[in-house]
């Protein structure tokens, strides 16, 4: 099946091309150092295959963290 290295490179490129958009919410959460980034990762991995789960993870990653200020 892999009679030349170029086939393997093509498959790896296609997998990368498909996986990066899937993990955009997780990438954003880790880049922004969200307090709940592991929970966002879990939602993205477990429910991201549904469009609703992916959108929920994206909105959660983009939402601003609320910091409690002392009164």
- How do residues 18-41 score in pLDDT, each as one tens digit? 889 999 999 999 999 999 999 999
Q: Which of 67, 65, 56 is nearest to 33 (CA)?
A: 65
Answer whether residue 1 shows pLDDT above 70: no
Query: Is the whole-model pTM more than 0.75?
Result: yes
- In percent, the amount of the chain with pLDDT more than 90 equals 63
User: Residue 23's CB: how many other CB atoms inside 10 A?
Assistant: 17
Cα 26–Cα 16–Cα 51 angle in degrees, nearest 5:
50
Residues 6 or more apart from 45 whose CB is under 8 A from it?
26
Both tokens assigned to 10: 């093509």
Average pLDDT across the chain, whole number: 91
């Amino acid at each position: 099946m892999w009679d030349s290295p170029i086939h393997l490179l093509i498959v790896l490129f296609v997998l990368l091309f498909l996986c990066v958009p899937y993990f955009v919410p997780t990438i954003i959460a880790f880049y922004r150092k969200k307090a709940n980034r592991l929970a966002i990762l879990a939602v993205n991995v477990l429910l991201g295959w549904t469009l609703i789960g992916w959108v929920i993870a994206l909105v959660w990653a983009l939402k601003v963290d609320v910091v409690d200020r002392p009164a």
